Amino acid sequence: MSSSAGASSMDTPMPQGWDDDERMSYLFSAFRESRDVNPHDWDNKQSFWKSAIMQRCKHEKKGVIDGERVAGMFKRKGRIPVAVNRVLVEMARCGEIVRQTDFESSVTAGWISWGVNQVVYKPLGWAYGAIFKRNVQSLQGPFIVLEVLKEIADATLECHHQSVNSDALDRLVDYTTLRESCRSTCVDDNTFRLALLYLRKTKKIVVTDAPPEKQVIKFIGKNQTRVSQITETEIGILRLKKTRVSLKQQIEQLICDTNRLQEETRQCLRKGLKSSAKSTLRRKKLAEKSIERKEATLDTLQEMMDRIQNAETDQMTMEAYKSGAAALKKTLADTGLTAESVDETMSEVQEVMEMCSEIDDTISQGNRDIDETVSLDSGIDTDALEAELADLLSNDESTEHIPGTNDVTARPSLLRDLPEVPDSEPIGSPDVTMENTPTLLAS
């Protein structure tokens, strides 16, 4: 293995395995005369070189290749891959690359008819025979790699959509402005022109018939399926925008001029050139008046653009109102809600509530009548009840026990026969203390 000695720049990506000398020697060699001899060999080389060509085109953001120079793009250690020529022929036969002249000549032809005739039948006739020849000559002239061109065209369309602030104001764009905004998408002017042609064929843009630098381009909207033709109103809006941009540039230049004239006036005064200073100051004043006039015009143009944009917003609002009103109307119709039905329902609710109130009143009045007519004392002797209550009360009072009472009947039966405890000490009894307690016990 050794490092690559190719002539390509260091930042250009090379195919995988480019540093493998043994593998590159095999891939650089020519195809066998017939695919039937070794289909695996043919398919490997076809896949490798087609992928390498696509990778290089996408990296360089170019959708056009020169048939005679493609092999030289992959020069390695002084060798040029012989197999590339046959790979290009096979890509042309399959419609993966087409001649640029054939692609451009199809502007007036239908996209489908051109695709069938130019991409399939025409290449099939010469490429099918050429691919089985022993010595295949390289394709001559520029060829378009359709897959890469389609990616660049889609990126251009997306770049425009991202720059749109108002559909009413940004429907159209001039070629120069679009080209500058898409520099990062496509660096090759020829490829960019062809990408616009591809978008035109697929009905995604409309282009005025003029040289590229004077062309006006209208893109398809994000929610549209096909672009509409350019109208005079849209042309007028585009002119309005360009005039506004031009006025801004003029005002910026005049401001720079006034600053410069102000400095020149000061220098003339320092040098004592009063007459020159006066003349320079007069020019400065004229520039300031010009700035005022242009700013007033710019304000008017800005107001007109705001009104156009507001008109678009108002239209969207009205359409939203119409859609909402239609949806609400249909919903009410589906549910059967009308002013008459609601009024009828509310009347029924009121009647039911009044009926419920009457029922509650009737139940309350019935309860009161029952309380008055039905007595719990019916069939019971009231005097007997009073006598029984008095008897229970007397029994409770006779059995009530008060602590410390001298009532013998209230004491337990065991203590009833014992004498009463005296309330005072006996007269002349000796004092009983802790000291003479043993003597008393002994006696």
**pLDDT per residue as tens digits for the range 380-431:** 667 776 787 777 778 766 655 545 445 544 445 444 555 666 666 555 544 5
Indicate whether 257 pLDDT > 90: yes
pLDDT for res 9: 43
Token pair 């978008």 in the structure block, residue: 199
Q: What is the mean pLDDT of the chain?
A: 77
Q: Which two tokens stand for residue 256?
A: 């720079």
pLDDT for res 434: 47
Q: Which two tokens stand for residue 63?
A: 């959708």
pLDDT band at 120 (very low <50, low <70, confident <90, very high): very low
pLDDT for res 390: 78
Average pLDDT over residues 35-57: 85
Q: Which of 271-280, 297-306, 362-371, 380-389 has the lowest mean pLDDT?
A: 380-389
Distance of CA 137 to the CA centre of its chain: 52
CATH number of 151-230: 1.10.10.10
Span 174-233, pLDDT tens digits: 888 899 989 888 888 999 999 999 999 888 998 887 777 788 888 888 877 888 888 888
**CA-to-CA separations, 431 to 65, 116, 423, 426, in angstroms, rounded:** 146, 149, 17, 11
Q: Which of 75-84, 242-251, 383-392, 420-429 has the lowest mean pLDDT?
A: 420-429
Q: Closest Cα to residue 147, out of 218, 58, 86, 16?
A: 58
Q: Closest Cα to residue 148, out of 44, 62, 73?
A: 62
All structural domains of the chain with their residue ranges: 21-140, 151-230, 240-312
241 vs 440: which has the higher pLDDT: 241
Q: What is the dihedral of CA 100, 105, 109, 114, to 10 degrees?
A: -30
pLDDT for res 67: 85
pLDDT band at 126 (very low <50, low <70, confident <90, very high): very low
